[in-house]
Structure 1
Amino acid sequence: MKSNYRMSIIVPVYNEVDNLDRIEAVFTEYFAHSETKSKVIFVDDGSTDGSFEKIMEICKKDDFSYIKFDKNYGLSTAIKAGIDVCDTELVGYIDADLQTTPFDFDLLLEEIDQYEAVIGFRGKRKDTLSKKVQSSFANSIRRALIDDGVIDTGCPLKVMKTDVAKKIPFFDGMHRFIPALIKLQGGQIQQKSVQHFERTAGVSKFNIFNRSIKPLQDAFAYRWMKSRYITYKVEESNPSV
Structure 2
Amino acid sequence: MSYEFTIIVPVYNEEDNLARVEKELLAYTKIASKPTKILFVNDGSKDKSQQLIEDICTRNDAFFYILFKENRGLSAAIKAGFDHADTPLVGYIDSDLQTAPSDFNLLLEHIKDNALVTGVRANRKDSFVKNMSSKIANGIRRAFTKDGMDDTGCPLKVIRTDYAKRIPMFKGLHRFLPALILLQNGTIKQVPVQHFPRIAGQAKFGLWNRLLGPLMDCFAYLWMKKKYINYEVAKKK
Structure-1-length-normalised TM-score: 0.96
Q: Residue 32 in 1 paired to residue 30 in 2?
A: yes
Report the RMSD for the aligned CA atoms in angstroms.
1.0
Amino acid at match of 1:38: T
1:26-61 per-residue CA deviation (whole Å, 9 max, x = no partner) reads 011111122311011000001011111100000002
C-alpha distance in 2 between matches for 1:11 and 1:59: 13
Question: Deviation digits for residues 57-114 of structure 1, max 9, x if unmatched?
Answer: 0000211000000110000000000111100010011000000011000000111111
| Matches of 1:220 and 1:62, distance apart in 2 | 43
Partner of 1:156: 155
2:30, 2:69 → 1: CA distance?
A: 33
Which residue in 1 is equivalent to 2:98?
99
Aligned length: 236
- Please give the alpha-carbon distance, in whole angstroms, between the structure 1 residues aligned to 2:84 and 2:43: 15
Aligned to 2:6: 8
Deviation at 1:218, TM superposition (A): 0.6
Instruction: Supply the AA of the counterpart residue of 1:10.
Output: I
Name 1:166's counterpart in structure 2.
Answer: 165
Among candidates 36, 40, 43, match of residue 42 of structure 1: 40
Question: Distance between the aligned counterparts of 2:233 and 2:87, measured in 1?
Answer: 27
TM-superposed CA distance for 1:146, in Å, is: 1.7
- Give the distance between the partners of 1:159 and 1:64, measured in 2 at CA: 18
Letter in 1 for 2:119: G
After TM superposition, list the pairs within 5 Å mapping 1:48-67 onto structure 2: 48-60=46-58, 61-67=60-66
Gaps of 5+ in 1: none
SS of structure 1 residue aligned to 2:71? coil
The 1-side partners of 2:150 and 2:38 are apart by: 26
Distance, in Å, in 1 between the alignment partners of 2:150 and 2:55 is 37
Q: Is the 8 A contact 2:33 2:108 kept in 1?
A: no
**What SS does structure 2 have at the residue aligned with 1:192?**
strand
The offset of 1:115, in angstroms, is 0.7
Q: 1:118 is matched with which residue?
A: 117
Letter in 2 for 1:5: Y
CA distance in 1, matches of 2:112, 2:101: 19
Residue 147 of structure 1: aligned partner? 146
Q: Once the two structures are superposed, what CA deviation does each residue of 1:155-205 show, in whole Å capped at 9, x if it has no partner?
A: 000000001100111111121101100001000011100000000011101
SS of residue paired to 2:126: coil
**Contact 2:17/2:95 (<8 A) preserved:** yes
The percentage of counterpart residues that share the same residue type is 55
Distance in 2 separating the partners of 1:81 and 1:33 = 26
Give how far 1:151 is off. 1.0
Which deviates more, 11-20 or 30-39? 30-39
Deviation at residue 236 of structure 1 after TM alignment: 3.6
Q: Which runs of 5+ in 2 are unaligned?
A: none
Q: Counterpart in 2 of 1:181? A: 180
Q: Output the amino acid matched with 2:102.
A: F
In structure 2, give the amino acid aligned to 1:193. P
CA distance in structure 2 between the partners assigned to 1:30 and 1:234 by the alignment = 39
Question: SS state of the match for residue 17, structure 1?
Answer: coil
